Structure 1
Amino acid sequence: MNQKRTFGSLLTLLGIAAIIYGALGLLGMVALSKINSLVPLGVGLIFFFAGISLVRATGDRPA
Structure 2
Amino acid sequence: MNTKSILGLILTLVGLVGLIYGGIDFTKGGVAQASFVYLILGGIFFFAGISLIRNTKG
Common fold by TM > 0.5: yes
Gapped regions of structure 2 (runs ≥ 5): none
**4+ residue stretches of structure 1 with deviation over 6 A?**
none
Q: TM-score, normalised by structure 1?
A: 0.86
More helix by percentage = 2
Between the two structures, name the one with larger relative contact order (CA 8 Å, sep ≥ 6): 2
Structure with greater Cα Rg: 1
Q: Give percent identity, aligned residues only.
A: 45
Q: TM-score, normalised by structure 2?
A: 0.93
Gapped regions of structure 1 (runs ≥ 5): none
The two structures, once aligned, show a CA RMSD in angstroms of 1.1
Alignment: residue pair count: 58
